[in-house]
Amino acid sequence: MRDGMGMLSLKVTPFHPRTSELMQGNAWRRWAGFTVASCYEMAPDREYLAIRNACALIDVSPLFKYRVSGKDSLAFLNRLVTRDLSKLSVGQVAYGPWCDSRGKVVDDGTVMRLDDHEFRLTSAESSWRWLGDNAHGFDVFIADESDETAALSLQGPTSRALLEKLTGVRLSDVKYHWMRSIEIAQRPVLLTRTGYTGDLGYELWIRAEHALDVWDAVVSEGASFGLMPCGIWAMDVARIEAGLVMLDVDYTPSPKAFTANQASSPFELGLGWAVHLHKGDMVGKKALMQDRLKTDGLKLTGLEIDHAAFMSAHEELGLLTPLPFIPWRVVTPLFLDREQVGYATSGTWSPTLKKYIALAQVAARVARAGNKLTIDLMVDRERRPFAAVTTTLPFFNPERKRA
Amino acid sequence: MSGYDAIVIGAGHNGLVHAAYLARAGKKVLVLERRPVVGGATITEEIFPGFKFLTGSYLISLLRPEVIRELSLAKHGLELMPLESTLVPLQSGDYFADWPDHDMTREEIARHNRRDADIYPEYAATMKRIALWVKPLLDIAPPNPASNDPRDKMAMAMIAERLRAMSKSDFDLLCRLLTTSAADFLDEWFEGEALKGTKCTSGIIGTFLGPRSAGTGYVLLHHYLGEIDGVFRAWAFPRGGTGAFAQAVYSAARSFGVEVRTNAAVKQVIIKDGVAKGVALENGDEFYARRIISNADAKVTFLNLVDKKELSPDFVNDIRRFRTTSAACKVNLALDGLPTFTSIPKGKEALYRGSIEIAPSIDYVEKAYDDAKYGGWSTRPFMDALIPSLLDPGMAPPGKHVMSLFVQYASSELEGGWNAEKRATFLDIVIDTLSQYSPDIKSKILFKHINTPDELERQFALSSGNIFQGELALHQLFFLKPVPTFAHYKSPIKHLWMCGASTHPGGCITGAPGRNAAMSLLRDFQEESA
């Protein structure tokens, strides 16, 4: 009976038979209870470059996916999320947060309108209970399709050409945040022009039993488009460049907030643009109306850290500069003079921008672009202050993203 | 013989903790223990050669971190091994498991009920948050809310301040928790029977109440007040059993200069002119000290060790009414190899190392209570089993195992009284119940042993065998514990004090009554000399 004693196992995604063959450096990590790759090669550098210069294939199956259908599905979802979905056409996708009754963000994700009365919602956390509790009084049917739906994110400048070659369909008329039903390897695939990299890119929603067929077809055709399977580290660099917040990293979802002030309003997370207060009732509306006017809260901002000074500090000590090619996720205090005015939540070297960038939450009064704050960083074995200037987000926003 | 500052009656863990704190402050302390060994119900006994049995307490959670730190218990040999998992074998042949990992637990709860899986982290966080607010109350002497003494008023103000600092929703929840039953409270959160079954056991363990009895909500919270190395709600097995923990406290106490005498049963507290002066032993020896502190429970102390003529009839009545009826039993099995629990699938054998709870649903536990309510015992008892030899190989010879089972309910007020035959019959019921989930267990039993309430009373001098030295019921907690008039470790007899689990915050291995009483007593010494 001692066999296997102590063996605990995480779930694997439908692509695991392929991803596990690619893994070189045993760089696995957890994502929502699944085993996924941090990077496949020994270092993530080439995987990142594929996102910005060719195309990258990322297994995003651990996302939670729900199908919402029924007479009241639009009314139900429109009350749940902060965006106004009444103008969402069939075939269109909307990204945004949803809040609890105190106006604090529960999760963020996409709503896809599959049909008049049929939607798909994706989320970072399991939303089964939240959807169920909010469905009281609505004629809706909610199905959890997380396990039976595999998801691939195909991101980068050559992603469209690759998909066109693969499907023989022109995709330039699939606009940013729209979708199209396609076939890959004779398997039905829902294609959405979405992603988490701020680049031209698509996400493929595939029935789990077809996952390997689609993967194989994409990888085989992708060879001539510079396709690289890509792990979470490279995607993380890209999403910071794109100024996209990550649950559990840049904010604490309200159900997980141990104390009330750990939770965030969408206005604090730079998601105010996705809060449509003019629409009818929605969860948290009252609180959001008040929060919108608040001036004492935090605001999401970008930071450009003075990497020239960071480099000279190292060189003065005769050291090479260890720029973070793998993003850090350590809450790091930010100061104005001697006073802490906020904190950075994730930071990285941006190989595309040649800048040391970070996402931060700072007091609203210093959130305007151009404020010079300081951040303490380690130089060898000492902690040193460096200038960090607040900037607007996104850091990187290529035209091809929406073209 | 004199010259002692304090004599502690009983070397249970609170008595030893208490003595250690007094000696640490420079007092000359004598501890008198009736039995040949120290530890009281915190004991490991080799009843069957080579097999170490946990005949009393079996796990540690609520032990105050202050006690570990201030008495340097790690230095004195305390080693805690946190339990990793809980297994609940179900009657359907399936199982429910609580894993030491968020993702694993989530997946397991979702296997039974997906809504529960989503809400469970919120429940756990809420309970821990409320526990965090309530926890400081464990470490203070309860103030008298009706008193005008500035010290009481300050303590009440501190409590009010803490309650005000809670969020409204947490405060509302705390009020509900204190007034409702564990079952009703859990029903508000969860749907799955197995999850609610295992969670409700925290609300009834050690009490003579069912999960649907009012007041068990508090007990549920009480068990959330535990922490091991800062991790709330964790339970740990002390290497060598709870007896080894008692030895660590004993060693700490001696290092501070405490004198401990075993085989020294106190017959009576010597009282002159209403003031406690010393104790007389069964063997006729007498010892004198400035303070006498009883680690025995309130009933034993005031109904057996004190001449009742020294007490007012009101006080005696209050003590008589102090609820101690009990239904907890302790079973130990010496096993010729590891038993098989058929519901544990291949690859999940780690579950053998954790708690194994026979509590498949709230109804199962409530029925077990129903059976025992009127002087009976459960035909299908609730059990909390542990195989300590998987955690500490020293507990049994190589290849052999010991199993410790906490069992409820068998009434201390059994119709016709307890005897050897009835103890054997109930032990058979326990093993029959267990073998429903582990069919080969009977074939592995080399020796079996049960401590029923009457035995716990006889061996450990616990009234009605109550393992908490009195029910953890709201009407006898905090400033009502053990009686409203004397809830601050003092007694109506001048210089006679209490330091056992009959006093706040009550039972379990906490060291808190012993420590709190020592803090109050040291102040008393100070005021006397001032």
B chain contacts of residue A8, beta-carbon cutoff 8 Å: 99, 101, 104, 350
Contact call for residues B250 and B72 (beta carbons, < 8 A): no
Give the three-class secondary structure for B77: coil
Give the three-class secondary structure for A230: coil
Residues recorded for chain B: 530
Architecture of domain A11-59+147-230: 2-Layer Sandwich (3.30)
Directed axis angle between helix A211-222 and helix A159-167, to 10°? 110
Measured distance CA(B96)–CA(B360) in Å, rounded: 8
Is B350 in the A-facing interface, judged by CB distances under 8 Å? yes
B chain contacts of residue A104, beta-carbon cutoff 8 Å: none
B chain contacts of residue A10, beta-carbon cutoff 8 Å: 103
Per-residue pLDDT at A295: 81
As to burial, measured by CB atoms within 10 angstroms (0-12 exposed, 13-18 middle, 19+ buried), residue B10 is: buried
Structure token pair of residue A79: 């009350």
Measured distance CA(A264)–CA(A260) in Å, rounded: 9
Query: How far is the alpha carbon of B374 from chain A, nearest alpha carbon, in Å?
Result: 42
Spell out the residues 6+ positions from residue A221 whose beta carbon is closer than 8 angstroms to its own.
A162, A165, A166
- Amino acid identity, residue A45? D
Architecture of domain A64-145+264-293: 2-Layer Sandwich (3.30)
The percentage of chain A sitting over the pLDDT mark of 90, rounded to a whole number, equals: 95
| DSSP letters for A170-204 | --TTS-TTBEEEEEETTEEEEEES--SSSSSEEEE
Identify the domain containing residue B471 by its residue range: 4-43+66-78+240-322+463-529
pLDDT band at B1 (very low <50, low <70, confident <90, very high): very low
B chain contacts of residue A1, beta-carbon cutoff 8 Å: 338, 340, 349, 352
Structure token pair of residue B82: 């946190």
Question: Using the beta-carbon criterion (under 8 Å), do A126 and B106 form an inter-chain contact?
Answer: yes
Mean of all residue pLDDT scores within chain A: 95
Architecture of domain A298-400: Beta Barrel (2.40)
Which alpha helices (H) appear in A54-179, and where do they start and end? 73-80, 128-134, 159-167
As to burial, measured by CB atoms within 10 angstroms (0-12 exposed, 13-18 middle, 19+ buried), residue A91 is: middle
Residue B485, Cβ neighbours under 10 Å: how many?
15
Per-residue pLDDT at A7: 44
Q: What is the pLDDT of residues B66-108, one digit of tens each?
A: 999 999 999 999 999 999 999 999 999 999 999 988 999 999 9
Question: Using the beta-carbon criterion (under 8 Å), do A259 and B129 form an inter-chain contact?
Answer: yes
Spell out the residues 6+ positions from residue B47 whose beta carbon is closer than 8 angstroms to its own.
B53, B55, B332, B447, B449
Contact call for residues B362 and B193 (beta carbons, < 8 A): yes
Structure token pair of residue A42: 């020994």
**Torsion from C-alpha of B413, B318, B212, B354, nearest 10 degrees:** -70
Residue B103, Cβ neighbours under 10 Å: how many?
17
The percentage of chain B sitting over the pLDDT mark of 90, rounded to a whole number, equals: 90
Does B250 reside within a domain?
Answer: yes
Residue B202 has pLDDT above 70, yes or no: yes
Give the three-class secondary structure for A336: strand
Does B301 reside within a domain?
Answer: yes
Residue B312, Cβ neighbours under 10 Å: how many?
11
Is B111 in the A-facing interface, judged by CB distances under 8 Å? no
Distance of CA B53 to the CA centre of its chain: 17
Q: What is the pLDDT of residues B369-418, one digit of tens each?
A: 999 999 999 999 999 999 999 999 999 999 999 999 999 999 999 999 99
- Please, what is the end-to-end C-alpha distance for chain A in angstroms? 60
Residue B249 has pLDDT above 70, yes or no: yes
Helix or strand (DSSP H, E) at B185: helix B182-189
Handedness of CA A336, A342, A348, A350 (dihedral sign): negative
Handedness of CA B494, B495, B500, B506 (dihedral sign): positive
Residue A195 has pLDDT above 90, yes or no: yes
Residue A5 has pLDDT above 50, yes or no: no
* The total number of structural domains that make up chain B: 1
The percentage of chain B sitting over the pLDDT mark of 70, rounded to a whole number, equals: 100
Please give the ipTM for the structure prediction: 0.89
Query: How far is the alpha carbon of B165 from chain A, nearest alpha carbon, in Å?
Result: 11
Structure token pair of residue B477: 């907690």
Question: Using the beta-carbon criterion (under 8 Å), do A130 and B118 form an inter-chain contact?
Answer: yes
Question: Using the beta-carbon criterion (under 8 Å), do A127 and B118 form an inter-chain contact?
Answer: yes
Q: What is the pLDDT of residues A270-318, one digit of tens each?
A: 999 999 999 999 999 999 999 988 888 899 999 999 999 999 999 999 9
Residue A103: closest CA among A300, A294, A289: A289
The residue with tokens 């501890």 is B31
Does B352 reside within a domain?
Answer: no
Distance of CA A96 to the CA centre of its chain: 11
Is A124 in the B-facing interface, judged by CB distances under 8 Å? no
Directed axis angle between helix B114-134 and helix B168-179, to 10°? 90
Does B314 reside within a domain?
Answer: yes
Domain at B22, CATH number? 3.50.50.60
Q: How far is CA B371 from CA B165, B350, B377, B422, B463, in A?
A: 43, 33, 6, 15, 22
Q: What is the pLDDT of residues B276-328, one digit of tens each?
A: 999 999 999 999 999 999 999 999 999 999 999 999 999 999 999 999 999 99
pLDDT band at B2 (very low <50, low <70, confident <90, very high): low
Residue A315, Cβ neighbours under 10 Å: how many?
11
B104, B121, B338: residue with CB nearest A8: B104
- DSSP assignment, residue B181? B
Is B115 in the A-facing interface, judged by CB distances under 8 Å? yes
pLDDT band at B224 (very low <50, low <70, confident <90, very high): confident
Is A136 in the B-facing interface, judged by CB distances under 8 Å? no
Mean of all residue pLDDT scores within chain B: 95
Question: Using the beta-carbon criterion (under 8 Å), do B114 and A4 form an inter-chain contact?
Answer: no
Measured distance CA(A198)–CA(A189) in Å, rounded: 22
Spell out the residues 6+ positions from residue B239 whose beta carbon is closer than 8 angstroms to its own.
B79, B80, B81, B391, B392, B394
Mean pLDDT of B13-39: 98
A33, A128, A130: residue with CB nearest B107: A33
A chain contacts of residue B119, beta-carbon cutoff 8 Å: 129
* Test the B interface: residue of A34, A102, A126 with most B CBs within 10 Å: A126
Mean pLDDT of B514-525: 97
Q: What is the pLDDT of residues B471-480, one digit of tens each?
A: 998 899 988 9
Mean pLDDT of A128-149: 97
For the ranges B65-79, B156-170, B359-373, the lowest mean pLDDT is seen at: B156-170
Per-residue pLDDT at A9: 75
Could you give phi then psi for residue B465, rounded to 5 degrees? 70, 20
Residue A6 has pLDDT above 70, yes or no: no
Residue A1 has pLDDT above 80, yes or no: no
Residue B440: closest CA among B331, B335, B334: B335
Residue A200: closest CA among A234, A172, A225: A172
**Domain spans, chain A:** 11-59+147-230, 64-145+264-293, 298-400
Does B123 reside within a domain?
Answer: no
